Structure 1
Amino acid sequence: MSVQEKLLEEGLARVGYVYPPNTRYIDAFEKAQERSEKAGVGIWRLEDYATDRGFDSTRYPEEK
């Protein structure tokens, strides 16, 4: 398992910005992300935080 796949599986990252020809591991990465989404871990615990365009930090502003 790669570092990238581990981060995806733990919900610490999302798949994004993948452009040909750099698609070699995309299937494994998307499956790892699906598992973390279904488990509701990491960024997937926060509703509407992770989007297809990146992260929406306005949904969960930092508390001071």
Structure 2
Amino acid sequence: MKNRTIKERREKRRNVKEMRLISQNLIPLEKLLMNTLTVITLKNYNSRQVRMDLGNDSSKAVAI
């Protein structure tokens, strides 16, 4: 097993935490909008804001 530095361990922990937040945000959305969802942009991992771009129709953009 490789010895990791404290910095590496912190970075890994942060990445795992961010991935967990992403999956918490995306999974319910994906189930909800399975058919129409084209692009999801995460503005900030720590917030629940997700921008959805559905085709060219900007009126359908939703922030959660």
What is the TM-score of this pair, normalised by structure 2? 0.28
Higher relative contact order (CA 8 A, sep 6+): 1
Structure label with greater radius of gyration: 2
Structure showing the higher strand proportion among its residues: 2
What is the TM-score of this pair, normalised by structure 1? 0.28
